Amino acid sequence: MSNQKTTNLSAFIWSIAELLRGDAKPSEYAKIILPFVVLRRLDCVLAPTKDAVIEAAENLSDDLDDEMRDRMLTSIVGPRAKIYNRSRFTFEALRGQDAEQLRENLMDYITKFSTNARDIFIDKFDFPAQLKALEEAGILYLVFERFCQIDLHPDTISNIEMGQLFEDLIRRFNENSAADNGDYFTPREVIRLMVELLLAYDHEALSGSGVIRTIYDPTIGTGGMASIGEEEMRALNEKIRVNIFGQEMIKESYAICKSDMLITGHDPENIAFGNTLTDDAFPTHKFHYMLSNPPYGVDWKKSKDKVTEEHETQGMDGRFGAGLPSISDGQLLFVQHMVSKMRPDEQGSRIGIVMNGSPLFSGGAGSGESEIRRWLLENDLIEAIIALPTDIFYNTGIQTYVWLLSNKKIEGRRGKVQLIDASGERFWSPTRRSLGAKRREIPEEARQEVVSIYHDMLNGGSDHSEVSKIFDTTAFGFRKIRVERPLRLRFDVTEETMAALTAAKPVEKLDQDAREGLLAAVEAACADAPIMDRVVFRKSLRAALKTASIKIGAPMQKAIEAAIGTPDEDAAICLDKDGKPEPDPHLRDFELVPLAEDWRDYVAREVTPFVPDAWVDETYRDDKDGEVGRVGYEINFNRYFYSYAPPRPVAEIDDDLKSLEAEIAGLLAEVVE
């Protein structure tokens, strides 16, 4: 089935939604149309064996438990089937019947599915309520009749194409209802790129008989990623057995994915409903391959309590021990969750996850994001990161990146990370028409080039110097050191400094006579102002206070010096009680020292020649390794792939302006005529 045919079918089904106009809100269209699509799909799949199932069901003993009955009846549908229906009704049988009986008969139809399918229609889709609403609006038969015209048998539309159909429909529904819930469907060419990258080194391992592999997607949606992963593996080895696992928290998406698993013979119990971050459905499972496209820039406030509790109580024994990212973006939580599912055996695991740019560089040294990146890199889990073109997703035009992770790197990749910039024009082509925000696509030849660059570990070279570079994992690390400069204060009585002193809290607490006496003593102390040495000022102040019979404590002394003292680079250095220079908080600075370099050498080269009196605060240390400076990690693509483009010549710009002026003048002349 071609993409055009998929698009045409989607457009036809979308036209059915037009029947709902006036009787349902646009935001409710999906809740009505999607279950009908699933029901029609199942009807087409089960039609050839329907009579045999009904006959067998009638002959089964009433004493059989549900598990045994399900096993016997699904075996009639097919060796891989996990579903059956005992109702005498089909779409064809219901077509042309009395419209008043249609809802009752459709209810008979959906309630006689096997137990695992009834959950889809009754609980997740809430289909009975939708049928009732359609009947009350008098349009149930009109909608049903249109669906009878669609052939959704697997011989006509494959499971992969069915996934495309669902995602295109959901995209249309979201656009129609102005929905923006942060959920993005991954374009098929991006999924194929991710899968081909994951399998790039595993072709030999996947060959032969008796091979079993597992695929897991913690944000499985309608199942597109996992299905394409299975398809690609079967293309390499038709005998391979692929077990799909996933979790989804949106009811409609979960129902679609589960129905697909039922049709394709996968265990529907491997598709769980719920929030992956708070209720891990597979706490003890490990998987060979993992794929995900978690929501971008979506907060995890609803999950905060449970996630934080697991982080604090379980540490590295839990899923989120490396750190917690900003509450505004939970992408790195999904990364940690997937890493916790890696197999510790010889086969290991490989992960492909597509995210926006935030996880690459958000958060400074010591932040949750930086600590997660540190954990990933210091444990050598990141193989490669690929920058994708913009404008390739349906709901957003932002820059995205594919992260490839592995706990069983090949020899040449150990301790290394490959960055591939596949965002340039050579890696995309414009779509024939825009689909939401999607205006570009990654053609097959570009996809193959990216996989080849990755597989061959190309590091620069004549054809790839600008798009592929390989670095040591330590290249992305740095130490954030705190550089101090000495405090130098000038003491002088001015209108501003006296106003600041009068407003100081210790001074405000004094009664009027005491306040006036103190201010007079300070003015007397600064009679020879400006005083360029704090030691001299303190002696002068003590003398003036003694003369005025005024005693002050440390808080008042501090308030006076803070108000009267003004930073001046020509003043003497202020020393502490141990005779060491005091740091000036206003002159404090931080330097990011490459992790591979000794901070002393860096300071001697980059700091001391320019500010000779500066020093490094050696008490500012990393919480983990205890060394000077806090360790941070960031991966800044622009730093490694930025290419300077000189501005256009002034003469060329001037020529363009003159040309535009002439064009505008011509248009104005036409208007005047």
Residues 566/497, Cβ–Cβ less than 8 Å: yes
Q: Check pLDDT > 60 for residue 276.
A: yes
- Measure the CA–CA gap between 406 and 387, rounded to whole angstroms: 18
Q: Check pLDDT > 60 for residue 250.
A: yes
Q: Is 346 exposed, middle or buried (0-12, 13-18, 19+ CB in 10 A)?
A: exposed
How far apart are the two ends of the chain, measured CA to CA in Å?
56
Provide the pLDDT confidence category of residue 112 given band limits of 50, 70 and 90.
very high
The stretch 356-378 carries a mean pLDDT of: 96
Contacts of 658 (CB under 8 A, 6+ apart): none
What are the distances in angstroms from CA 568 to CA 526, 533, 571, 584, 587? 16, 10, 5, 11, 12
Q: Check pLDDT > 50 for residue 1.
A: no
Contacts of 262 (CB under 8 A, 6+ apart): 42, 81, 82, 83, 116, 117, 268
Closest CA to 468 of 441, 450, 486: 450
The stretch 209-217 carries a mean pLDDT of: 96
The stretch 136-164 carries a mean pLDDT of: 90
Closest CA to 339 of 272, 404, 275, 410: 404
Read off the tokens for 15. Answer: 């036209």
pLDDT of the residue at 465: 61
Q: Hey, what amino acid is at 673?
A: E
Percent of the chain at pLDDT > 90 equals 70
pLDDT of the residue at 2: 46
The stretch 67-74 carries a mean pLDDT of: 83
pLDDT of the residue at 464: 57
Q: Check pLDDT > 80 for residue 673.
A: no
**Cβ burial 456-469 (10 Å sphere, 16+ → b, else e):** eebeeeeebeebbb
pLDDT of the residue at 392: 93
Residues 185/223, Cβ–Cβ less than 8 Å: no
Tell me: the pLDDT tens digits for 166-209?
888 887 887 765 544 435 578 899 999 999 999 999 999 999 99
The stretch 601-629 carries a mean pLDDT of: 96
Provide the pLDDT confidence category of residue 462 given band limits of 50, 70 and 90.
low
Residue 614, number of CB atoms within 10 A of its CB: 18
- Please give the model's pTM, rounded to 2 decimal places: 0.86
Read off the tokens for 122. Answer: 């009754």
Helices of type H across 78-187: 91-94, 99-111, 115-118, 127-137, 140-148, 159-176
The stretch 47-69 carries a mean pLDDT of: 85
- Measure the CA–CA gap between 513 and 49, rounded to whole angstroms: 103
Q: Check pLDDT > 80 for residue 645.
A: no
Peptide bond preceding 530 in cis form (omega within 30 of 0): yes
pLDDT of the residue at 394: 82
Question: How, if at all, do strands 429-435 and 438-441 pair?
Answer: antiparallel
- Measure the CA–CA gap between 330 and 340, rounded to whole angstroms: 16
Tell me: the pLDDT tens digits for 568-603?
999 999 999 999 999 999 999 999 999 999 999 999
The stretch 538-550 carries a mean pLDDT of: 94
pLDDT of the residue at 668: 83
Return phi, psi of residue 532, to 5°. Answer: -100, 15
Tell me: the pLDDT tens digits for 291-316?
999 998 889 999 999 999 999 999 99
Compute the Cα dihedral for 293, 296, 298, 303 and give only its sign: positive
pLDDT of the residue at 182: 39
The stretch 19-48 carries a mean pLDDT of: 89
pLDDT of the residue at 172: 80
pLDDT of the residue at 25: 83
Read off the tokens for 168. Answer: 């295109």
Of 166-175, 247-256, 326-335, which gets the smallest average pLDDT? Answer: 166-175
Q: Check pLDDT > 90 for residue 105.
A: yes
Which domains can be identified in the chain, with CATH numbers?
3-176 (1.20.1260), 188-457 (3.40.50.150), 489-567 (no CATH)
User: Of 89-103, 382-396, 658-672, which one has max mean pLDDT?
Assistant: 382-396
Q: Hey, what amino acid is at 155?
A: D
- Measure the CA–CA gap between 348 and 408, rounded to whole angstroms: 5
Percent of the chain at pLDDT > 70 equals 97
Tell me: the pLDDT tens digits for 72-86?
888 888 776 788 999
Contacts of 511 (CB under 8 A, 6+ apart): none
Does an H or E element contain 481, and which? strand 477-484
The stretch 143-164 carries a mean pLDDT of: 89
Tell me: the pLDDT tens digits for 399-436?
999 999 999 999 999 999 999 999 999 999 998 888 77
- Measure the CA–CA gap between 518 and 545, rounded to whole angstroms: 8
Return phi, psi of residue 593, to 5°. Answer: -95, 125
Residue 11, number of CB atoms within 10 A of its CB: 12
Q: Check pLDDT > 90 for residue 27.
A: no
Mean pLDDT estimate for the chain: 91
Q: Look at the block and give the residue holding tokens 């995900």.
A: 292
Chain center to CA of 321: 18
Q: 177 vs 146, which has greater pLDDT?
A: 146
